[in-house]
Structure 1
Amino acid sequence: MVTFYSIARTVVKSILMPLYRIEVHGREHFPKEGGVLLCSNHIDNLDPPVVGITAPRPILFMAKEELFKVPVFGKMLTNLNAFPVKRGMSDREALRKGLKFLKEGKVLGLFPEGTRSKTGEIGRGLAGAGFFALRTDAYVVPCVIVGPYKMLGKLKVVYGPPIDMEELRSRKASAEETTEVIMSHIRKLREDYC
């Protein structure tokens, strides 16, 4: 079925792939079905579309609430499977939506750092990623974007194998500890592909 998402993905892919000479590694690690929590580092405003065009399945992204108030752009975000989250506080509605999507077998994309890294270094993740990882049976797939974004440069997007969450889930680890485990996998991917 042709959707706004699939059309936009095709158009954006035809522009960004050659513009940034994007290399994609590890797509074979991405589960073909079932809920997936996709966690990536965040280095640029273009990260969501770049992850969206390189992942093998459609992604639902949380985006800061303010973006949905921008005329036309807000509507477009909704049509691109994004949903709003209030930053700096616990947004129960956004958390409920995220859990629902994962339990329905969809892909939820998160940037656990919560904001772009100005240095390119991978920072600390917020507890939200751990919250979703612990409260669902979704696969947790780490992703790293290795930049910088430079026209006709080379950008890498790397998907790692799903992280084994069994031990963390069985001992009811904290969301913070679980997020740190996820971030350590993202850092390791970066070391391997830098």
Structure 2
Amino acid sequence: MTVDFYSFAKGIVKGVLTPFYRIQTIGIEQFPKEGGVLLCANHISNLDPPVIGITAPRPIRFMAKEELFRAPVVKTLVKSLHAFPVKRGMNDRQALRTGLEVLKQGEVLGIFPEGTRSKDGRLKKALPGVGFFALRTEAAVVPCAIVGPYRPFVPLKVVYGAPIDMAPLRARKASPEEAADYIMDHIRRLLEEHQRA
């Protein structure tokens, strides 16, 4: 994957958002340095993708709602940032195939398991698509908690957890729904731990 424009954009966005939201990155040393990674985060703001993008150590391919690809200018921008469209509800077979290919190529796939933003900050039930990716590949599954709120000059935490051991679920052929719930439990624990801190 070419990262020239991605790196350029990352530098600019990082220079703006990091001091404005006093972004603190925690646990980044646990992020796999190579190989496919399924990065799963809670979703509380439209700024979540760029915030994760500037704190993660590797380029991320995000699944983005297809509506963003309808406006020519926005479409060009999000495609330049390596995002690809997905229809709401995670029943988009082409998006699923693309996501699997991203992981099999050893890249990082960024996904918000809830499928949409939580307006009250509380975790919602995960869609089964994230479980599908976790079970159908050998990619490392990394939970990420964005601990808000997004307020100017109020510290915002981005917490990366250790990769989740999905081997037992893969071995017993767990359902995508069960795997999705398992991943969300890890995100929930990160949130609870760092909201108290």
* TM-score in terms of structure 1 length: 0.98
Q: Which runs of 5+ in 2 are unaligned?
A: none
Residue equivalent to 2:56: 55
Mapped partners of 2:187, 2:3: distance in 1: 33
- Which amino acid in structure 2 is aligned with residue 183 of structure 1? M
Distance in 2 between the 1:73 and 1:134 partners? Answer: 32
Counterpart residue identity of residue 4, structure 1? F
* Alignment check: 8 A CA contact 2:26 2:158 kept: yes
Q: CA deviation at 1:87?
A: 1.1
Distance 1:31 1:165 in 2: 15
Percent identity between the aligned chains? Answer: 65
- Structure 1 moving runs of 4+ over 6 Å: none
The alpha carbon displacement at 1:93 in A equals 0.6
Which residue of 2 is the match for residue 6 of structure 1?
Answer: 7
Cα distance 1:136–1:89, how it changes in 2: closer, same or farther (>3 A)? closer
Summarize the alignment of residues 23-172 of structure 1 with structure 2, pairs less than 5 Å apart: 23-88=24-89, 90-172=91-173
CA offsets 1:63-117 (integer angstroms, 9 cap, x no match): 0111011131110000001000111351111100000010000000000000000
Aligned length: 194
In 2, Cα distance between equivalents of 1:43 and 1:135? 27
Distance 1:168 1:94 in 2: 23
Q: Does 1:184 align with 2:167?
A: no
For residues 46-72 of structure 1, what are the alpha-carbon distances to aligned partners after superposition, in whole Å with 9 as ceiling and x for unaligned? Answer: 000000000000000000111011131
Secondary structure of 2:72's counterpart equals coil
Q: Distance in 1 between matches of 2:77 and 2:117?
A: 22
Q: Where does structure 1 lack aligned partners over 5 or more consecutive residues?
A: none
Q: Which residue of 1 aligns with 2:20?
A: 19
Separation in 1, partners of 2:112, 2:159: 14
Aligned residue type for 1:166: A
Q: Which has the higher mean CA deviation after the structures are superposed, 42-51 or 79-88?
A: 79-88
Matches of 2:22 and 2:69, distance apart in 1: 30
TM-score by length of 2: 0.97
Secondary structure of the structure 1 residue equivalent to 2:120 = coil
The 3-state SS of whatever aligns with 2:62 is: strand
